[in-house]
């Protein structure tokens, strides 16, 4: 039953009720390494989480993000490296003494217990008095917006309600660190949106240090104080959402977070500038071996102008609410995406001829795609 319960260590407080102190912990993962047979799950991961922040681990399947989270929880053990919480090395500490609460994608509620007893389960294991654990469970149900669902069993609750119960159970023992393993991926889009806002509100209200694993870019960017993008067991970049999107450190981050166009370019001026679409632009960061490279441009940065004599043409338009995404075919047959406000896009229907240009600023470049 270890995975289903909150993995929080005992705290010496009056009457056995966990205190509220210590919830804003510092977490450090130092040079974590883990292999499973011939598969390298973590390859020297270094990561620090600040007190009280929500940090999202984002990356493709198999990048090591869930392995890192399970190591912090104590469910997996590294082959090498250290895990520190508030400067204390907990690498060898068993899961039930890690002082971490974990919420799983699958909810992991006990089907034979009602919502109140599910929330109070960890307190019961700590021998907290019945009246105190009932009061604490009722307080948590109120906190997650389900004060009238205490007598309901898991099968009587919706997916979103079950996940709220799982969150309340993880918070019942006031852990120093909250770990969320893709907790919203099993929910439908509307419930997912509501619940991610609720989780963020609770996390900020409680000030608890939180690690959130997700493969959903929008989820990570909208919820997290910082996002750590992982690839093949290593950290590519850890930054605030705006910086991650606007100034990605690597080509992988640039293409994994949001939508990115690749345009054919040629390095010049000793690889400090690149020529593309008739413009010479400074290179942002380190350039790969060239001279032929790809220039990485966000759809909103592409500039379009209607031109009956233009050599590019619109091939498709997709309404996305505030913007319309146009697919534009360049003279060499390359398709790129361009985001325009709806009223501007209206004049560029599929079939329209136009000219394409780039903004006058430094750009990321990557090795030419095969």
Domains and CATH numbers, the chain: 14-246 (3.40.50.300), 259-367 (2.40.50.140)
Rounded distance between C-alpha atoms, residue 165 and residue 146, angstroms? 8
Report the predicted TM-score, pTM, of the whole model to 2 decimal places.
0.85
Tokens of 167: 């969150």
Whether 24 contacts 34, CB under 8 Å? no
The strand pair at 323-329 and 335-341 is best described as antiparallel
Q: Read off the pLDDT of residues 282-302 as tens digits, 9 standing for 90 and up.
A: 999 888 887 999 999 999 999
Residue 3 reports pLDDT greater than 50 = no
CA torsion sign for 71, 73, 76, 80 is positive
Look at residue 289 in the predicted model and tell me its pLDDT.
86
Under DSSP, the state recorded for 164 is H
Residue 9 reports pLDDT greater than 60 = no
Q: Read off the pLDDT of residues 321-343 as tens digits, 9 standing for 90 and up.
A: 889 999 999 999 999 999 999 88
Q: How confident is the model at residue 106 (pLDDT cuts 50, 70, 90)?
A: confident
Residue 320 reports pLDDT greater than 70 = yes
Lowest-pLDDT range of 76-90, 176-190, 256-270: 176-190
Contacts of 239-242 spanning 24+ positions with Cβ under 8 A: none
Count of residues making up the chain: 370
Q: What is the mean pLDDT of the chain?
A: 90
Look at residue 309 in the predicted model and tell me its pLDDT.
93
Look at residue 185 in the predicted model and tell me its pLDDT.
85
Whether 175 contacts 23, CB under 8 Å? yes
Tokens of 154: 């898991």
**Mean pLDDT on 73-98:** 94
Q: How confident is the model at residue 257 (pLDDT cuts 50, 70, 90)?
A: very high
Look at residue 23 in the predicted model and tell me its pLDDT.
60
The answer for residues whose C-beta is within 8 angstroms of residue 191's C-beta and 6 or more apart is 158, 159, 160
Q: How confident is the model at residue 12 (pLDDT cuts 50, 70, 90)?
A: very low
């Amino acid at each position: 039953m270890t995975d289903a319960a909150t993995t929080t260590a005992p705290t010496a407080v009056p009457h056995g009720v966990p205190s509220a102190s210590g919830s804003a912990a510092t977490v450090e993962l130092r040079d974590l390494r883990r292999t499973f047979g011939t598969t390298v799950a973590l390859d020297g991961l270094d990561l620090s989480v600040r007190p009280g922040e929500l940090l999202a681990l984002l990356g493709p399947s198999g990048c090591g993000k869930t392995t890192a989270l399970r190591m912090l929880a104590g469910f997996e053990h590294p082959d090498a490296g250290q895990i520190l919480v508030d400067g204390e090395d907990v690498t060898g500490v068993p899961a039930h003494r890690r002082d971490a609460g974990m919420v799983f994608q699958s909810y992991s509620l006990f089907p034979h217990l009602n919502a109140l007893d599910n929330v109070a389960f960890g307190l019961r294991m700590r021998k907290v008095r019945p009246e105190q654990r009932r009061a604490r469970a009722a307080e948590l149900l109120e906190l997650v917006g389900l004060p009238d669902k205490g007598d309901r069993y898991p099968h009587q609750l919706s997916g979103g309600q079950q996940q709220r119960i799982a969150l309340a159970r993880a918070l019942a023992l006031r852990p120093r660190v909250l770990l969320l393993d893709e907790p919203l991926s099993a929910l439908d889009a509307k419930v997912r949106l509501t619940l991610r806002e609720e989780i963020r509100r609770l996390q900020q209200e409680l000030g608890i240090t939180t690690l959130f694993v997700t493969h959903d870019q929008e989820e990570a960017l909208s919820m997290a104080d910082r996002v750590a993008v992982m690839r093949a067991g290593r950290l590519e970049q850890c930054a605030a959402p705006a910086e991650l999107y606007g100034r990605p450190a690597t080509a992988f981050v640039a293409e994994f977070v949001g939508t990115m166009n690749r345009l054919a370019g040629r390095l010049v001026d000793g690889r400090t500038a690149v020529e593309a679409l008739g413009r010479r632009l400074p290179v942002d960061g380190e350039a790969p071996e060239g001279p032929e490279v790809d220039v990485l441009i966000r759809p909103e940065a592409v500039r379009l102008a209607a031109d009956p004599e233009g050599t590019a043409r619109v091939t498709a338009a997709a309404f996305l609410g505030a913007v319309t995404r146009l697919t534009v075919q360049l003279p060499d047959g390359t398709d790129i995406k361009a985001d325009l406000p709806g009223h501007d896009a209206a004049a560029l229907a599929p079939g329209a001829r136009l000219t394409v240009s780039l903004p006058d600023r430094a750009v990321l470049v990557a090795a030419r795609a095969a």
